[in-house]
Structure formats: structure tokens, C-alpha cells
Structure 1
Amino acid sequence: MSCLKSHQISLSFSVSRATTPSRRKDLKAIKEPSLGVLPEVDNENSPMLPTAMTPRSSKRKSAQLVSSRIRRQLGTQLDFNSDGEDDEEFLPSKKELQSSSEDEEEEEKVDSDEEVAVKKSKRGASGSRTPRSTQKTRSSTRTPRKTPSKKTTPNTPRTPRHITPSIPSRSLPARQPANVLEEASTRLHVSAVPDSLPCREQEFQDVYSFVESKIMDGTGGCMYISGVPGTGKTATVHEVMRCLQHASDMDEIPPFHFIEINGMKMTDPHQAYVQILQKMTGQKATADHAAALLEKRFSSPAPRKETTVLLVDELDLLWTRKQNVMYNLFDWPTRRHARLVVLTIANTMDLPERIMINRVASRLGLTRMSFQPYSFKQLQQIIMSRLNKVKAFEEDALQLVSRKVAALSGDARRCLDICRRATEICEHSAPNPSSTGLVGMTHVMEALNEMFSSAYVTAIKCASVQEQLFLRAVIAEFRRLGLEESTFQQVFVQHQALCRVEGLQPITVLEGLAVCQRLGACRLLLLEPSRLGVQQRVRLNVSQDDILYALKAD
């Protein structure tokens, strides 16, 4: 008995030592080979950790293993005893039974938790190891390498590529003029296409015969066309080309190619090469490359080369310091295999002598044509042809408009604008719109006052004598150069000459700069924003007709 008691005490002491923290490593070593490392999940969102790393589960399992082994050893030793007393001594107490029952429940819970963990680990092994929450965050923050390609299905509409946009037709027809004055206003609009070009028959014949002869002979040439604005230069050339195109379609003359460029539509004169090449061949290139390609095209022979007719409007805006653009335009027609006809249009008659150097002027040649300003009879005839037997003006009113415009500039566009405004005034002043009368002298005078009495005209009339002389000097210098831009130094020389002619004391340079600055502040002049002083560039912000009208009225 004593040996059994001592053995029982030693076992209990070993149990108590096994549960102490110093024996945790040994218990883990005992536990790990039997059960393995299984993940335990307390929460679905929390990351999975192995059970060997959790302290509570390790304590419980180690205690259960030790108690189960002690019981087995005690059970084998107690089997050798047959005495009932010994059996009674080794019966477990109530506390031990309760603790054992609690240990069994904990073992069942641990087993169930282990089974759940094993199932979840199998699911994770079959899928991705990363939890779903981390996958979502990573996929949302990660930028795709390429844009996903959209697979077109037969039902999805495709974007049209090469389709010309169409304009929907009118739901209702255009409103017809209600009375004679509305019809006259429509016919007198500048954008209205007339049936004919009166008073330019001789100029039309000269341009037509020149271009036709060059096309028939297969040679090249240049023609310089000059005249003040509004004298029908561009309209006459366009009509010549329309008639030549019709003759080419009827096989009366060989086929040709017509190209038009405008210096007003270019930011740089060298863009002329780019536009000419693109309109001839449809090829896009830089200015230098385009110039080289055009040089090669006009220098090399070709068996079936068509004649090219080039119209250059606003030639004075293609001027450069070296004048290489003008030189090439005038030199290419002289080549043997070029077959190029160049028609140039400018506002100044003696532009070649003023701004062109000798080698450029010599290439231009002597084929020139000048469009003189319209006289009052010609302006009256133009208005009558536009109206086309529509009786809307009194004869005296029509003659007044023609004489006023002819004395000022001879611009047909200005005459048409004044007549159109007079019809609007007459229509609004009539008491009954249906019974409108003819445009009379009062309506024409009111339209003239509106046209020539703008805020700029009023500012010119209210300017000082020196400021008015400076504006006259600007116009004189522009006409001398043939350009719409000059420097203050050149204008100041003209201003001093005008002061001597008028018998006034010439002003100094500083006073001239002050006059120029005041005109620029009134927006009558456009000044270059720089500190160049006498070298700053000067341009007009109003038309020359308004300045001349304001100065003549005084």
C-alpha cells in the first residue's frame, strides 16, 4: 500500500509539473507529431493561424493528453489488486469526475473545431490561398496593363468611319419675300450671286484670252492684277475660270487643274508651299519639304502633265525679307516643263516696284492688268443689275448713293451695303408693312450717316490736328509701300512732310510718339506691344474709307 501511495503521489506531482509553463515546450513536442498543425479559425474574416501558435488550445490539449496517459497507467496498475478496499481508495471523487467531464466536452469541441478547420483548409487549397477580402482590395487597387478589348457582337452597333455628315432637309420651305423691299434687300446682299458682272467686260476678255492661250500652247506665264478693294478683281477671275472649266468639259480646250490660295488665310508666307502641294497632289509635308517637292515637280518633264492655273490672292501678304516665296512663285512658270500659269492679285498697282527686288520683279514680267475704281454710272448700273427690274428705289436716291461712294473709294461692296441698309430703314419706317413705298432721299441719307458716323468716325472728327495729320500720314505710307503695315519712323517722315505742306510747325519725335500712343489708346491704331520706340510697327484698326470720309467732312 505504501508503495502504491508513493507511486500515486509521484504521478500527481508529475502531472502538476507537466501543467506548469516550463513544460510547455515538451507538451508541444508531444502534441505535434500526433495531431499535426491544423488551422483554427475563430472568425471568417480573420486570417488563419495554426493551432500550435494559439496559447489556449495548446494548454488544453497538453493537459488532456497527460491526464489520459496517467489514467491508462493507473488503470493497468490497479488491475493487479483484487481487494475491494483498494478499489474504493482509488475511486475518483466528484470533483475529479466533474473535471474529467469538462475535459471530455472540451476535447469534443476541439475535435469539431479541427474538423471545421480541415474543411476550410481544403476549400482554400482548391481555390486561392489569399482571403477574399485581401483579393478584393488588391484587384481594386491594381491598374490593368492594357485596355480590355471590346468584342463586337452582331447586335452591337459599330461606329461609322468614312461617312459624310448630311444636313437634314427643311421641314418647311424657305420664306419668300413678303414685299418688294424684302426682295430688294435679299438681292443687294454682298453674298448674293449675281447673274452677270457688268462694267468688267474688257478685263474679263483680257484675262480669259491670256489663260486660254497658255493652256492651248502648254506653256507657263504670270499675270499681275491690281486695283483698289471692291473693284471686282477676284470675282472676274473666278468667272474666267468657271468659263474655262466649262470649255474644258466640252473638249474645246485641253484639261487643266485650278488651284487658289489666299495670303490672308496664312499665318506664315511659307505655308503657301504646303497648300499648293496639298491641293495638287493631296500630300501633306512641311514647308521646306513641300518647296523641294514642288521644285522637282515643275523642273522634271512628264508625258501627260496637265497645265496648272494658280491664283494667288492678297499677294502683298506673302512678302518676306528675302522674298524667296514670291521669287519661287514667279520663277516656276519660266521653267520649260512646268506648265504653270500664275495669276496674282493685289491692291496696289505699283507693288512690284515698291516692295519687290529686281530679280523678283524681272520674273514677274510685264503682263499686268489694273482694275480702275468704279465711277458713279458704273455703280448705278451694278445696283440696277442686282435688282433685276425690281422697282424699289427712286432714281434720285440711287444716284445719290452712287455719287457718294464713287467720290470716296469706288467700292461696290460699300455701295451695296448702304442700299441694303436704306431698304431696311424704309421698311421699318412705313406705317403699314404691306403698303411700303419706294426708298427715297431721306432713307439714303440716314443710311449714309449710319455707315459713316460710327464711333471711330466720331473719334477721328474729334481728334486734334496733329492726330488727324498722323492718320493721313499712315494712309500715305501704306499706299507708298503697298502694305498694310509700317513702322513709326516711316510714318513720322510722312507726318513731317504733311506738316510742311499744311504750313504747320513739325513736331519732335517724342511728341510724335505721344500722338501715336493716344491714337492707339483710342483703338484707331494697332501698335506693337514692345519697347522699340521708333521701330514699333503700326497698323490701322479702321478702314481707310472711314478716315477719308471723316477728314473730308471736316
Structure 2
Amino acid sequence: PTSANALPPLLDARELAKLSPFDRAKALLHVSATPESLPCRDEQRERIRQFLGDAILGRTGGCLYVHGVPGTGKTATVHSVVRELQKDEDMDAFTFVEINGMKISEPMAAFSHLWSALAPSSTSSSSSHASTPPRKTSPKAALAALEHHFANPDPARPTTVVLVDELDQMLTKRQDVLYNFFNWPHVAHSRLVVVAVANTMDLPERELSGKIRSRLGTNRIPFQPYTWAELKRILEARLALVALPSSSTSTSSPPPPPLFDDVALQKIAKSVAGISGDARKALDVARRTLDRVALRLAASPSSGAAGSTAPVVRCTIQDATAAYNDMTRTGPATFVRRQSTHAKVLLLAVAQCAKRAGVPDVELDTVLAWHGDFVRQAALVDARALYPASRSELVGVVAQLHAQRLVATESQRLDVFQRVRACVDEGDLFAALREDEVLKAHVPKVL
């Protein structure tokens, strides 16, 4: 099997063995670390493997829609399945291509990216010259080439598995990009399999036309937010690898003591699960807890004393609580707490409108309409919790939020049709707004 995109490298046990238990734990808890196994996603993993395996061996095309809130292991699970299939000697050869909507300049660039992976290499007539990769083509030329490629079947053509990540970023007004990606798998003998990953369950119903939904089909796999028990299990699985013998110690040496108390891991897992269920957030909090304990031990008087042994790193529930509070009370969430009530309602409006639309950015006019409806229904002005504000004043508040980098707007536009997106994590935003006495009853839970 070939891969037009290199999969994230797995954790190297030999490199980990060279590190101290503390540094090893920090490496294992990093969000970019890719373990061999992913806990708590066995059912979804098996369904994805079944779908891809059947399509590759059957030499057929197909579409699969994978959805779930950020940090629930969608992309990592697909990567894990592809990696396993690439190593499977009984699996037919296939080409893997990954297209991330956040990493391309425009949705149309996806055509160029796909064609660069599928285009045949140009080989010189002289046998001494190696094949050269195809030149980069424009999106329009790549689209024409792809249409010709899939319309002309080739018995020797291997199956192509395309992972379209951040699907909501690929939406266009005409929706022609997604139409083509979901239509080509249904062309006879195309041997194209598309796995679309998005953060919204009902994105197809909300944003896609009927002809695109019909081609996407009903193959859908949901990834629910992690529960606190699952998050704890994920942390434990990572930390279990710390017990690997270091290259500087003998294999008969006892394993290092646990770095975290069990109640500390419970605290981290329950705190994150109560907000978002995001595994990446839980890993960040655990890593921050380690740093906090290491700094405290380094500052203790006994740490630098002559002849003293190295202090033992042990993270308690107090350390985990302090690290979590540090993370939620610093950064953008801190600025959210300092905003006026109108500004907080506008931030809530941006998040709710984007969530309802299933896309990251929405028109300012939609946000202002939501703000007005919310203020009227919650009777905030009548209760004197909020002063009446004109539309121009609210646009000025949005400009202030943009200046503080709490929202991103199309700065070149000054009208209400400019698009706005939140720059604050949804979980952190809702947690900060829930501390407001006026708004706490109106802020929904993420889960």
C-alpha cells in the first residue's frame, strides 16, 4: 500500500526508553503523541475497519460520514485503521490521501491535492532517468483531470482511500467541491472511498443539498464525547507506558512509582468531562499538573542540598485542581469574564449560531438577530440586567471583541453580512459564561 500523506508517527519505544520517567510521561501526555492503541473507541474502530476493508477487497467505492465534537478521537481512529490495513498482508494495495479543510487555501484546492496523489508519474524514455512527480496543477485543471480519471476505468487501478477532515471548512456556496467528492465514489469502477470527518452530527441535513446527501448515503459513525471514566482510562493507558524500563536501568529494576494519585486522575477526568469530554484537554491538564509539581519540587530547599536524592514526583488531587484552575482562569477565558453583559451575550450568540448552522463562522446579521431574541425572551432589559443597545452599538462591541481576539471577523468588511467566528474554545467559553450571575441559567452544557 502507498500513502500520499504520511500518517502521524507512532511513539518510538526506543526513544522513550532513553528518557527519565518524568520526561517520558510528558512525552506520552502530549496531544501530538500517537499511541499504538486507542482506548474506548473499539466499536467505532471496528465499524470503520469493516467499511474500508470491504471496499478495498471488493474494489468498490463508497462514502462514510464520521462525526463528533472535537477531541473525541475521530481522526486518530481513522489513522489507526489505515495504518493497520497498510500492514495487513492479506489486504489489497490501496492509496491513502488525507485532505484537511483547515490546511488548504480554499476548498477548490482539494482537487489539486487529490490529483497530485493520483496523477501518473511522468517517466523519461531513457531507463537511466527516474520518474518525476507530477507538476502542481490548478484546481480547475485538476478537476478536469479527475473527471477524466474516474470516467475511464483501469483494471490495474488500486483503490484510493481519501480522508476529508474538517469537512465543514469545505463548504462553498455552490457546494460543487463536496458534490464531486461524494459523487465520484459512485462512478462505476472508480475505486474511490471517501471518509468525511466533521464536528457536527446534522451537518448534511443543515448545509448540504439533497443531491449531495443522497450521494453521501446513510453510512454514519458517531463519536460521543468521552465520559469521565473513559478519560481516566485514556490517561491511565498513556501513563502505563511510563513503566517501560529505561535504557539506563537494568530490566530487573523495580518499575517507577506512579506519578499520579488515582483521585488526581479522577479529578482531571471529571473536570474535563463536565465541560467538553475532550481527550486533548484532559491530556493538557495532566501535563500541566506534572509541570506544576516539578516546579514546586525544584523550588523546595531540599532539592539542591548536597547528597540529597532526587525528589519523587507525585501528583495529588490538589495539584490537579490547581492545574485545571490555572488553565481555565488564564488565556481567553479570563478576558471573557471581564466583558460587559452585552459582549458576553454576543459571544454566546456566535457560539450558538455556529453550532446551530454546523459551520465555524456565521453572518453578523444572524448573530445580532439571535442577540435581540435572547435579550427579549430572557427579559434582561426589563429586569434592568442590561441596558438597551442599538445595532450600531452592538457592531461596535463586536469590533472590540475582535480587537481582543475573542472573535474573528472579516476586517475588510464593515457591514452586517461579514462573517464572524469565535476564537475561544466552546467548553471554556460556556464555563466562563456560567460564572455570570445573569447568564448562568441560560448557558447550555456542551455535552
How high is the TM-score relative to the length of structure 2? Answer: 0.81
Structure 2 residue runs of 5 or longer lacking an equivalent are 1-14, 120-132, 244-257, 304-309, 382-387, 437-447
Is the Cα contact below 8 Å between 2:16 and 2:24 reproduced in 1? no
- Equivalent in the alignment of 1:288: 140
**Alpha-carbon spacing, 1:306–1:453, altered in 2? closer, same or farther (3 Å):** same
Which residue, 356, 365, 372 being the options, matches 1:496? 372
Q: How many Å separate the matches in 2 of 1:351 and 1:513?
A: 28
Query: In the TM superposition, what whole-angstrom CA distance separates every residue of 1:254-305 from its partner, at most 9, and x where no partner exists?
Result: 2211111111111111111111111122423221111111111111121212
**How big is the shift at 1:437?**
4.1
- Equivalent in the alignment of 1:461: 337
Q: How many Å separate the matches in 2 of 1:531 and 1:382?
A: 45
- Equivalent in the alignment of 1:448: 324
Q: Is residue 93 of structure 2 the alignment partner of residue 255 of structure 1?
A: yes
- Equivalent in the alignment of 1:124: none
Which residue, 234, 238, 243 being the options, matches 2:84? 243
- Equivalent in the alignment of 1:553: 435
- Equivalent in the alignment of 2:417: 535
Q: How many Å separate the matches in 2 of 1:200 and 1:383?
A: 14
**How big is the shift at 1:397?**
1.2
Counterpart amino acid of 1:267? Answer: S
Counterpart amino acid of 2:181? Answer: L
Q: How many Å separate the matches in 2 of 1:513 and 1:528?
A: 13
Q: How many Å separate the matches in 1 of 2:71 and 2:331?
A: 23
Query: In the TM superposition, what whole-angstrom CA distance separates every residue of 1:5-34 from its partner, at most 9, and x where no partner exists?
Result: xxxxxxxxxxxxxxxxxxxxxxxxxxxxxx
Q: Is residue 295 of structure 2 the alignment partner of residue 419 of structure 1?
A: no
- Equivalent in the alignment of 1:212: 53
Q: How many Å separate the matches in 2 of 1:286 and 1:437?
A: 55
Q: Is residue 103 of structure 2 the alignment partner of residue 279 of structure 1?
A: no
- Equivalent in the alignment of 1:396: 263
Is the Cα contact below 8 Å between 2:354 and 2:421 reproduced in 1? no
Larger radius of gyration: 1
How high is the TM-score relative to the length of structure 1? Answer: 0.66
Q: How many Å separate the matches in 1 of 2:411 and 2:295?
A: 45
Query: In the TM superposition, what whole-angstrom CA distance separates every residue of 1:115-170 from its partner, at most 9, and x where no partner exists?
Result: xxxxxxxxxxxxxxxxxxxxxxxxxxxxxxxxxxxxxxxxxxxxxxxxxxxxxxxx
Q: How many Å separate the matches in 1 of 2:396 and 2:56?
A: 56
Aligned residues: 378
Aligned-pair RMSD on alpha carbons?
A: 1.8
Is the Cα contact below 8 Å between 2:28 and 2:239 reproduced in 1? yes
**How big is the shift at 1:191?**
2.3
- Equivalent in the alignment of 2:441: none
**How big is the shift at 1:339?**
1.1
- Equivalent in the alignment of 1:365: 217
- Equivalent in the alignment of 1:486: 362
Query: In the TM superposition, what whole-angstrom CA distance separates every residue of 1:407-443 from its partner, at most 9, and x where no partner exists?
Result: 1111101110110110111112123451224101221
Larger RCO (CA under 8 A, 6+ residues apart): 2
Deviates more, 1:348-357 or 1:189-198: 189-198
- Equivalent in the alignment of 1:57: none
- Equivalent in the alignment of 1:376: 228
Match of 2:434, SS state, is helix
Q: How many Å separate the matches in 2 of 1:542 and 1:195?
A: 31
How much identity, in percent, do the aligned residues show? 39
Is the Cα contact below 8 Å between 1:496 and 1:507 reproduced in 2? no
Q: Is residue 39 of structure 2 the alignment partner of residue 198 of structure 1?
A: yes
User: Which structure is higher in helix share?
Assistant: 1
Counterpart amino acid of 2:280? Answer: R
- Equivalent in the alignment of 2:5: none
- Equivalent in the alignment of 2:28: 187
